[in-house]
Structure 1
C-alpha cells in the first residue's frame, strides 16, 4: 500500500509573495493534490527582525485567493502544531540538546569579517566555506572571548564525508560536508535557532514526507539529511524546482515589486494568473485561464523544466 503524501508550503512572512514564491507554492500544491495527499501550511517566521504577523495574514489570504488551500496548519490548526516557527522554540532546543550531548556542537565567536577571512575558498554558488576557526578553542580561549563581550553562535561539526540526495526532480546531488560546506550554524548568537535545524525538526514532527521548494535550497539539503541522520529521523522525498529569472539573468525576488502579489492581483484574475504560471511550469503551451484544481487533474512532474526558467517579458505585465 502506497503511503499518503504529506506535503507542505513553508514560506517566510517577511513581505508580500512574489512570482517565484507562487511558482513553488503552485507546484507543491499540485504535487500533493494530484496524489490525493495532505498539505500543511507552516510559517517560517524565525527571524524576529524581518517577519511580521500581518505579512503571514496577507500571505495566507493571497494563497486562498489563487485557489491554493491547505488541510492543516496556519489559521486551521491540526495535530502537529503550533505552525509558527516562532512558537516552536522548545522543540528546537530539545534537538539542539541532543546534538550537544553527542559532542557535536561548539560555540563560534567569529565576527562576519573573521568568518570570511578564515574561510576556505568560496563555493561555486558564492557561499564561503567555514574553515573551523573556533572548532578547537580551549576553555581559556573561550573564556577570554566571552569576557571581551563576544556572544557566540553555535555550530555543528560535520564529517569529511559526501552526503548525497536523490532529488525526485533534479536527480542526484551530493556534497562533501567538510570541504563544500564546513561546520554550519544551528543557533545564532542572538539565540534564534537557524533554518537548517528548524526545518528538519518541523518537517519530521509534522509528518512531512515530500518537500517541494526552490532550487536555491538544493545545496542545503545534504546538511539537512545529515541532521535527520543524527536525530534518528526519516528524511522526506525532496523535489527542487527551477528558479525564475528575469530576461537579464537575475533571479526574481521580493525586490521586484512589479511581480509581487499586490501588482499581480491588480492585473489578473486567479485563473488568468494560474494560466500564466502554468506556461512557465510547462503545464500549458498558451496562457489560457485555468484553476489549480483543473491543472491537478493531469499534473505530471515530467512536464516541469529542470533548468532555471527565463520569464518572457510581457507574460506577467
Structure 2
C-alpha cells in the first residue's frame, strides 16, 4: 500500500531535479501522475520541448505506474486550467499538486535587468498562483486537496545575487499560508518546502570563492533531490491531513521545521515616539535582537546529515 494509492497528483517542473523525483516517487506510492514541464532552459524564456516531460512519464509507465505528460507553462492560466482538466478527464480526479517548477536569473540587484526580475516573478509567484487558483475550487468542492509549494532559503534568510528569486519565493510562502488558512474548513491544505538539493538550477550558481565552492560541494555530494521528494509526497498524502500552513526545509536526511514571523520585542512610549527618541531609545534597546545580514549559509554552516 502506498501513501498515495488511488490519488491523482500533478507535479510541475517534473522533467528533472526535484520535480522528476517527486513524480517518480508519487507514482511508486500509488498515484496517477500528470507530469508537467515546459522543457525549457534554466533561465526560461524559450519555447520549451514536450520531450522531457514525456520521458519522465514513460519512466513511470515502464515501471508499471500510470502517468501522462503535459508541456504547458505554469505562467499561462488558460494552459494551467487545461492541465487541471486533463488530470480530471483522463484520471478521474485531482487530489494534490506538487509545484517545484522554477527558473533562475541571478544577478546583483544594482545590475538586474527588468526582464530578469519579471521572468522569475512570473514563473515562481504567478505560476504558484495559477496552479492554485485553477484548482482550488475543485479541491474545496470535493473536501480534499493538498498543495506542496516550494520556497527557498534565499527568501526565508537571503542570498546575495538573488533578489528576484528571493522576492518570488517569499511571495509563494505568503500565498501558501493564506491557502492554508482559507482552506481549513474545506479540507484544503497547503505547505511549503525550502529544498537543499543538487539540481541543474543550483549548478548555474557561480562559484567565486572557497566558501561557495565548499557549499556547492556539500550540496552536490550529500543533498539529493530524491531526499526532498520524500517529504513532498508525504505532504501530498491525505494521511498528513493535520499538517497545513507549515514551512519545512529538507537538507540531506534532515527535515527542518521553520518558525514564522512573530513579534520578538516591542517598545512603547505613552507620549508617542519621535524620530529623535526612536534613534536614542527604541532602536538601541532593540539592537541586541536584530538579525544580521548573513546569507543562508551562515544559518546552515554544518555538513548535511
TM-score of the alignment, normalized to the shorter chain, above 0.5: no
Structure with greater contact order relative to length (CA < 8 Å, sep ≥ 6): 1
TM-score calculated relative to the size of structure 1: 0.34
